[in-house]
Amino acid sequence: MRSRPNPKVVRVVCGIAAVGSLTTGAVAPSSVVAQSSGRSRVLIPRDARIDSTVALATFDSVWRTVGTSLADRGVTRVDWDAVRRELRPMAAGARSNDELRPVVSAMLRRVGESHFAVLPSGEASGGAPAPGRSPSALGRAGLSLRFAGGDLTVWRVDSASAAKRAGVNAGDVIDQIDDYIVPALEVRDSAGVRRTTVLTSAMRALAGDPASRVRLVRRGANGAREEIVFDRDSVRGPVSRFGNLPPLPASFEARRVTLDDGRCVGVMRFDYWLPPVVAPLDRAVNEMRSCGGIVIDLRGNLGGVAGMMMGVAGHFVNEVRPLGIMRTRGEEMRFVANPRRATDAGEPVEPFAGPLAIVVDGLSASTSEMFAAALQSLGRARVFGERTAGQALPAVTTRLPNGDVLMHVVADFVAPNGARIEGTGVNPDEVVPLRRSDLQAGRDGALEAALRWIERARPNTATR
């Protein structure tokens, strides 16, 4: 009898499959090489020798686990037995993780869904680092990249980073990062798999050890190509370890913006849905209750612990509301938001009743998409920005015989209105494309659109 992970009891993580490649240049180690095609990716560290017994045991474990996931969700489009017959002989010939992981990667690509990934041993759990690399070797380039039209463009530059000191500016077009030459894209390629693949490679190229050198070829406002060289910084802020996942940034930012009419708007953002974010987020909501509105900025937030969205949503509803359903064959788990009527200190409060805006982009994935879709479908929030990643399958992690960690899907997810997010994403109520001219002028079009909507909204709008 096959053993099945029970979605009612497992710790579900969403969106973390891409942590090694789609962050702001802060997590993926320099010893990792990613093989990416479509939406499943295997991250390859330095070589580790294995024998055929371990290679086949690892391949078979992945094949069985993924096959169970497909069967439990009623997915029949893949001839999984044929995949095994084709690829298992290649796994039998593997004598190292370098040789095995491309075979496993090829198997995962056949699924054609997000959240199937292998995280390398050591890097997956924050365990032993690669030779010559300290356990805390998390370097950051201090900048984030997005597509503006068909150009890979600097979206944000940390004000205290070496990149800023070296003269990198928001709106710069990046043509090359070290040895990685950014391929030319058509405007139509700047959405979907092609965009994600290029972003993956670019952000991986930005990653490395602290104090290691990175070389950029950029085009600034005058259009001239220029080479910039600077040293990577160390990651600032808290880092969280959760289960078998690699160390992840757990920073949380909150600030107030004053509208023309004198009212304040609370703006908060965080990189991942991880437990260390809970307390500062709760405090921020409590401190912003008097504001005219709240903006939750989920751009670049790849997901995290799915259950966290229930507690966060509870700050913004005044009655029990459904957030979505996670389904496997014959089983389901309902995500429900309960109104938060007391602070952690026990003080009575009412859920925030003012306008709520959520800002997203093409790197808002999984738990971020589930949260945005839920509050949008309930009519509780208005969504601004660009269509999300469309990668929203709940997943868990399992240790493999070779020491790697397999992330695999355990269920499907539908929003309260029955809409499936996987493959389609969340469409904003107000689409605000990222424009290079806005970045160069220091404008944030999506956030500004959200603030304008709040300013027009009637104060103290009742929560639905």
Q: What is the pLDDT of residue 186?
A: 67
Domain that holds residue 222: 139-234
Total of domains in the chain: 3
Q: 163 with 232: CB under 8 angstroms?
A: no
Q: 395 with 408: CB under 8 angstroms?
A: yes
Q: What is the pLDDT of residue 32?
A: 28
Sequence length of the chain is 464
The verdict on 323 and 438 lying in the same domain is yes
Q: Is residue 404 part of a domain?
A: no
Q: Is residue 380 part of a domain?
A: yes
- The Cα–Cα gap between 281 and 343 comes to 12
- Report, as ranges of residue numbers, the positions in the chain whose pLDDT lies below 50: 1-11, 16-46, 122-137, 190, 460-464
Q: What is the pLDDT of residue 126?
A: 39
The verdict on 282 and 150 lying in the same domain is no
Q: Is residue 69 part of a domain?
A: yes
Q: What is the pLDDT of residue 424?
A: 85
The verdict on 276 and 416 lying in the same domain is yes
Report the half-sphere exposure of 305 (CA within 13 A, side-chain side).
21
The verdict on 168 and 107 lying in the same domain is no
DSSP letter at 348 equals: B
Give the domain CATH number at 269: 3.90.226.10
Q: What is the pLDDT of residue 37?
A: 32
Burial class (CB in 10 A: 0-12, 13-18, 19+), 427: middle
The verdict on 228 and 275 lying in the same domain is no
The verdict on 103 and 70 lying in the same domain is yes
The verdict on 256 and 278 lying in the same domain is yes
Say whether pTM exceeds 0.85: no
The verdict on 321 and 199 lying in the same domain is no
Torsion of CA 353, 358, 364, 367, to 10 degrees: 10
Interior angle at CA 251, CA 345 and CA 346, nearest 5: 5
Q: Is residue 93 part of a domain?
A: yes
254 forms bridges with which residues in the sheet? 268
Q: Is residue 134 part of a domain?
A: no
The pair of structure tokens assigned to 156 is: 């944000």
Q: Is residue 439 part of a domain?
A: yes
Give the domain CATH number at 168: 2.30.42.10
The verdict on 172 and 278 lying in the same domain is no
The verdict on 101 and 182 lying in the same domain is no
In sequence order, what are the residues at sequence separation of 6 or more whose Cβ sits closer than 8 angstroms to the Cβ of residue 458?
Answer: none
The verdict on 219 and 271 lying in the same domain is no
Q: Is residue 130 part of a domain?
A: no
- The Cα–Cα gap between 106 and 161 comes to 38
Residue-wise DSSP of 189-210: GGSSHHHHHHHHHHHHHH---T
Q: Is residue 17 part of a domain?
A: no
B/e letters for 301-317, b = 16+ CB within 10 Å, e = fewer, are bbbbbbbbbbebbbbbb
Name the one residue in this structure whose structure tokens are 């992981």: 101
